[in-house]
Every structure is written in structure tokens, then in C-alpha cells.
Amino acid sequence: MTPILTPELVRQHGLSEEEFERITAILGREPNFTELGVFSVMWSEHCSYKNTRRELRKFPTTGPRVLVKAGEENAGVIDIGDGWAVAFKMESHNHPSAVEPFQGAATGVGGIIRDIFTMGARPVFLMNSLRFGPIHGDNDAARKNRKLVRGVVAGIAHYGNCIGVPTIGGEIAFDGSYNGNPLVNVLCLGVLKKAEIARGAASGVGNAVFYVGSETGRDGLAGAAFASRDLTEESKADRPAVQVGDPFRGKLLLEACLELLTSGAVAGIQDMGAAGLTCSTCETASRGGTGVQIDLALVPKRETGMSPYEILLSESQERMLIIVRSGEEERVKEVFEKWDLPYSKVGIVTDDGFMRVLDDGSVEVEIPAKQLADDAPVYEREVAIPTRPPAIVVSDLEFHDPKDSLLQLLAHPTVASKNWVFRQYDHTVRAGTIVPPGSDAAVFYVREADKFLAATTDCNHLYCRLDPREGAKIAVAEAARNLTCSGAIPLAVTDNLNFGNPYRPENFWQLREAVEGLSEACRRFETPVTGGNVSLYNESPEGTIDPTPTVGMIGLIEDERWITRQYFRNEGDVIFLIGAIGDEIGGSLYLKTIFGKKAGLPPRLDFDRELAVQKFLRALIRKGVVKSAHDCSEGGLAVALAECCMSGAEKIGARIRLPQMGGSSSQADQRLDVSLFNESQSRIVVTVRSEASDLVQQEAAQAGIELTRLGSVGGSELAIEGPEGTLSWSLDQLHEAWYSSIALALSQQDL
């Protein structure tokens, strides 16, 4: 029984009157109900980027290493040398995770892994960037957040561990703006031979179109459209829009597809992710400049009585569309029978440019593929520029005992050890994890290619809330700095733009500012954006999330000896701060944690200084004198020092003497808390062998880099000598605050 098209039905499909008119013009008639569903998912924000496409064009997308550009295929591909390449991408599963955290997060992992092996790459590692509301406290919001954290972490572990791709790092931050709307951004990287990049195009008229993988069910119906709405109290009713993942099937599909790809039988391959069968058929046709005709009667189904609308819009997981070269169809049968996976020839590539869907022979959908895939309307949304937040006046802040403040910062879950989380992720499978989770960047040995890669994800939502442009620039700078600290050269970026409803002008302003900030920074760091994802409508009844343009960055370490870790190594090593003591307290975690303020102007990024600092550190690392390197981020210098003392396998103390205050600000009378906890950028704590300290100082002077000698490694406490005496913390005291904060919160019973 097909519903009759009414303006109400069109609205329910998230299409405007103008969009409906555009559809009618494309078809030369009104769409039927199934076609309306097809347009509604393809023209949703999730698939079409209709509200953000103009902004995304601002990203730098080319560079000498870029082999597949952003938007061209399922994931970008970059050259890592010696005939090898990596495909990588980050994607969000925020909305599904909000209503069904376990399956939402699990299918997020499954989806991004499919995007990578669709490129012909073997997935080698995963990372994730997560945001939740506060987890401490005896209140409903905290209880709900704890459930979300447990569910999301278990879901990521469930899928990643089973499919055998290690989760080697990432970051997690906690803030009230994510209450009810967590962010789950997952990154996957895969390795492939440069000459063997697979394409998602339906090329070769007459070639067979195969459906492979799990049967289609009613789960995940129109998930892409669901992800393109605000989360409301009623969103729970959308649970059927959340897909269910089967990592075992995912693993079989991965192995079968990679095996088939090496046989040369594949002309094109595309995963069925958002918008399922609809998206994969029209996108492959559009890319190939061809048409695709399939018959739904031939699609393997899990349930009986599914309508064409349901089959086309289902987002059942672990499915792929494969275009097979004529005469090679037997290969598909051999491989998929070996792996005991369903497969079915569902159609052929045609030359008429149509996505034509038959239902047991009779035409159900007939839409020009290119216009469906690529001609969604593009909007210029309205922006509203908010007033700039006033700067923080330090003298208005009550002085709080820094000894206690450091412990509070270390216990803040954003800073605290994430061991409770990372222990649940298999991070050692594939025998390549060199620097495990918990360092500035993870380092992985890609055995196939004999290459060492570093990877990180970063975004400071406080900065982005207060100044999205500066915050976005800093996200890129910090990612590059983290990679540099690990000994790598930054290569390329994947980004995940998490914002609120774009129809609110203040939200759209945030997005535009952030995109322009990211673009500028990616140009300066010569790290092109090779792909990513946009997640809008991140709003709950409590309000909009802080803007969160997450940056995932990949780097290459050209010599194993250059791999550098963040923690202090040996007694007697000399500690330097590359950069000045700093003084910018606006947007800091210190202000938020101790004074409850998300206020002020975030730190400023000076590109020239940042680039010089990173270049200097890389040169030092190559000279072989650097024992450890860790950048200053949330919580400033004091937190960085404490982490250097605690994050290795063995704790080790340090004696620090703060120089006469000020550095660049040259305020001799700067307050101690400002010196310890400010978040001025471009600062890195490094240690060197004591014999090398003169050399390091000479090199810094020559390079024009500000370098502050802080003290030396050793002892069983962190002692910081300031103008008015010495503050000291025992290592056990620091460790207790930092190590168990998250584990304790999450281990409690929440009934």
C-alpha cells in the first residue's frame, strides 16, 4: 500500500517545497513514494552536504602526496613512499550513539572500516575522538552520561576487537555542553600499494552489479535522514533508525573483499553505509558516468514482505556493492562461497545514466543518477556574529592554592588517565603498536610497508566555543605538534565537523569560522584535508554543543630511532621548555575547573612561531639528543610536567625552577597560578641528556627559538620552585588523582 504524496509527507521526509519542485523538474514528473524516500536520504545533510558544501570548498585538498582527493572516493589516499599509500578518514556516529550507545558506536567503527577497505586498503588501525557530558556526581545527567560512556566504549571495543583492527589512541573530553549529545568520531587508517587503489565507479557498460555481504533487514531505516535532525526527547522513538552491527560478518566481508580485489575481477566497489543501497547505486553510476539497473527481488533479505522503500533505505550493516568485470563473475562466487557470505548478482551497468530500480521486473525508481548524487541544492546559510567574549582580568580571580588546583586538574576526566577506556580496546593486535594509547600521538609500525606512522586526534572545544576560528587553527597546530613530539612529519588531515543546527545563524557562523581557521592552518602546515565528515544538528533539549571541529592528523616517522615518547626517562636528564612560560588564561581548563568559567579569549596562535618551534624540535630529535617531548595543552605547563612524571611504565619525579616570570609578556610579577596553568600555545616540554644541554641551548639561540631551562628529572616528587617558595607533590599523590578518576566514576553501580 503506497502512501499518497502530500505536502505533509514531503515535509516529513525533510524536504522543502523548493527541493520538491527541483525533484519534479529533474524527473519531469512528480516522484512516487519510493523515489521521494530516495531523494530524501540522498539530499539529507549527511549525504549531500547541502548546507556545508560551499564552506568545505575552502579546504586545501591537494599536495604532492595526495593520490585521492577529498570527496573523490570513500576516503582520501596519500603516498607514504616506496610504492605504498595509506587511506584514512574520520566519521561520526553521534546521533545513533546518543539513543543507542553500544550499537551506535559499534556501527560507527564498522562503517569507517568499510570506507577504508573499499579503497582496497587493509585497515591497520583505529582511533577515536569522544565527547561526553560530566561523569562525576550523583545526579541524573551524570548517571546518564556514565551509561553513555560505558555503552560507547563497549561498542567500540566490541566491533574493533572482534574484527582485529587495533584501537591505538585518540582523545576524550568531558563538558556539560555534550549532555545528551555525545560525540563519537572514529578514524580508520588502512595501507595499500599505490598502484592498487580501488575505485567506487560503475564503469564498463554491461558489467554485472553484485550485492555482497549481510542480508538486508529493516534496521537503520533512513539513518542518514535521522542524523540530519536535532536530537529531541522523542529521538528515542527513532531507535529503529540505529543499525545493528555484526563484527564477525564485518571481518568476513573485509577479508573476502580484499581477496577479490587482488584477483583483478573488480571494476568498482562501494560500501553500503549511509543511505545503503540507494547511495551506493547512484554514487557508483554518477562516478562512472554510467547508469545502474538493479532488481530488488534479487537482493538477499533478512525479512519477508519488505517494500521497495524499505529495501532501498535500509542501513543494514556489512554490505557492499561490487561492479564485476565481464567474464569474471565466477571469481565472486568462489571467494564469497569460501567465506560463507551471501552474494547475488542484482543488476548491470547501463549507458543511460539512470539509477533504475526494478521490483521483480517492474520499474519502481527511475532517476538520473548524476543529478540525484551530485545536484542536491547548495545553500548559503545565514550567519550571525556574536559579540566577542570579554578578556579575563586576572586580578578579578581569587587566588586558589596551586597545589590543590593541579590535583583538581589532573582528576578532571578530560585530563585524567584514560586507562579504564583503553584497556578495553585491543590495541596490540596486528603486532605493530609502538607507542600505545596515552601519549601525545600513537605510533604504529605498518609491517607490510615497513613504515612508522604517527596519528593523533585533537580539538579543544572551549577554545572553539569562545573563538571558533582560533580554536580550529589551534586544533590543527596541536595535532601537528603532537605528531612532531613523537618524531613525525605531519602529512595530511581528516576532519570531523561537529556543530549544531545550521539553520541557527549563530551556529552557522561558528561552522564558517572553524572551516576558515582549519583551512588556513592546514595551508600553513602543508597538511591537505583528504576527507572527513560533517555532523550537524548536535543539539539536545539542553542546548547546542560547543563547536567541535575534530582534527585527525597522520604523520610519518622516517627513522625508527626518531620515535619519541612523552614521559620522562632517566634521572639527571635536563628539562627544557621550548617556548616561554606564557600568560594566556582565557578559555583554559583552569578557569573552567577551578572557577567554573568558560570565558575569556582563548590563546592566540602565531603560525610562524609554531612552525619554527616544531621545526626546531624535529631537528633536535634527528640529532638524537631528545629523551622525551610533550606539548603543553589543557592545564598548561603544570599538567604537562605531571603527565611527564606519570605516563611512563615507571613514575619518575622532577625538580623545576620557574625562571623570572613572564617570558614574552615580561611581567616580572605574574601570578604563580597563571604561570602554571595558562595555555599559551607553541610550548613543548623536552628532556635531553645532561651532556647535550649546552648544544640544545646553542641550537635554540641559532634558530631564534625561545628556550627556558626548567630543571632536571629525578626523585619521587614533582617540585616546582617559584618566587615565593616551593610547591611539591609526591608522585603517588599525583598518580592517585590522575590515574583512577575516570575508573572510579565509571565503576560505580548506576541502577
Partner 1 sequence: MKIAVVRFPGSNCDQDCLRALTDGLGVKAEYVWHKETSIDGFDAVILPGGFSYGDYLRCGAIAGFSPVMQSVIEAAHAGMPVFGICNGFQILCETGLLRGALIRNRSLLFLCQPVYLKLENNRTPFTRLSEEGAILRMPIAHGEGAYYADDQTLRELEDGGQVVFRYVNETGQPTPEANPNGSRNNIAGICNPAGNVLGLMPHPDRSWEGRLGSEDGLQLFKSLVDTLLSVAA
Residues with a known catalytic role: 46, 93
Q: Which segment (157-165, 323-331, 386-394, 487-495) binds partner 1 by CB under 8 A?
A: 157-165
424/501 with CB nearer partner 1: 424
Among 33, 117, 422, 562, binds partner 1 (CB under 8 A): 422
Instruction: Please report how close the Cβ of residue 120 comes to partner 1 at its closest, in angstroms.
Output: 17
> For residues 711-750, which are near partner 1 according to CB under 8 A?
none
Sole window of 62-70, 417-425, 585-593, 686-694 interacting with partner 1 (rule: CB under 8 A): 417-425
Q: Which of residues 699-718 bind partner 1 (CB under 8 A)?
A: none
- 211 pairs with which residues across the strands? 321, 344
Query: In the set 229, 287, 370, 430, which binds partner 1 (CB under 8 A)?
Result: 430
585 close to 394: Cβ distance less than 8 angstroms: yes
**In whole angstroms, how close is the CB of 182 to partner 1 at the nearest point?**
20
Nearest to 629 by CA among 611, 644, 607, 609: 644
Give the C-alpha separation, 223 to 104, whole Å.
11
Q: Which of 398, 397, 406, 408 is nearest to 722 (CA)?
A: 406
**Binding-site string for partner 1 from residue 487 to residue 516, where x marks contact by CB under 8 A and - marks none:** ------------------------------
Q: Give the integer Cα–Cα distance in Å for 343 and 322.
A: 10
What is the C-alpha to C-alpha distance for residues 43 and 275, in angstroms, rounded to an integer?
10
Q: Report if residue 247 touches partner 1, rule: CB under 8 A.
A: yes
The reply to whether 751 sits near partner 1 by the rule CB under 8 A is: no
Asked if 424 touches partner 1 (CB under 8 A), the answer is: yes
Minimum CB separation of residue 563 from partner 1 in Å reads 8
Radius of gyration for the alpha carbons in the chain, expressed in angstroms and rounded: 26
H helices present in 164-302, as ranges: 223-226, 247-262, 276-288
Q: Which residue has the cell 593541579?
A: 406
Question: How crowded is the C-beta side of 494, counted as CA atoms within 13 Å?
Answer: 34
Q: How far apart are CA 668 and CA 120, in angstroms?
A: 59
Smallest CA-to-CA distance from 416 within 741, 734, 169 is with: 741
Q: Does 425 bind partner 1 (CB under 8 A)?
A: yes
- Given candidates 248, 570, 698, 701, which one binds partner 1 under the rule CB under 8 A? 248
Segment contacting partner 1 by CB under 8 A, of 105-113, 154-162, 303-311, 697-705: 154-162
Residue 561 lies near partner 1 (rule: CB under 8 A): no
Q: How far is the CB of 66 from partner 1 (least distance, A)?
A: 29
Question: What is the C-alpha separation between 234 and 450, in angstroms, rounded?
Answer: 51
Pick the closer one to partner 1 by CB: 203 or 424: 424
Rounded least distance, CB 213 to partner 1, Å: 14
Does residue 454 belong to the site contacting partner 1 (CB under 8 A)? no
The C-alpha cell of 33 is what? 513514494
Establish if 691 lies at the interface with partner 1 (CB under 8 A).
no
Q: Compute the distance between CA of residue 306 and CA of residue 145 in angstroms, rounded to an integer.
A: 36
CA-wise closest residue to 466 among 716, 707, 679, 721 = 679
The only residue of 207, 405, 433, 548 in contact with partner 1, by rule CB under 8 A: 433
- Least spacing, CB of residue 649 vs partner 1, in Å: 8
Beta strands in 249-401 (DSSP E): 266-271, 291-295, 319-324, 343-350, 354-359, 362-368
- The reply to whether 246 sits near partner 1 by the rule CB under 8 A is yes
Please pick, from the candidates 428, 690, 698, 726, the single residue that binds partner 1 as defined by CB under 8 A. Answer: 428
Query: Which of 164, 204, 377, 722: binder of partner 1 (CB under 8 A)?
Result: 164
Which residue do the cell numbers 552489479 mark?
Answer: 209
Asked whether 278 and 42 are in contact (CB, 8 A), the reply is yes
Question: Rule CB under 8 A: is residue 163 a binding residue for partner 1?
Answer: yes
Instruction: Lay out the site mask for partner 1 across 314-353 (x = CB under 8 A, - = otherwise).
Output: ------------------------xxx-------------
SS (H, E, C) 518-542: HHHHHHHCCCCEEEEEEECCCEECC
Which C-beta is closer to partner 1: that of 247 or that of 468?
A: 247
Could you say which of 9, 244, 297, 429 contacts partner 1 (CB under 8 A)? 429
Give the footprint of partner 1 on this chain (CB under 8 A): 157, 161-164, 246-249, 251-252, 338-340, 422-434, 445, 447, 560
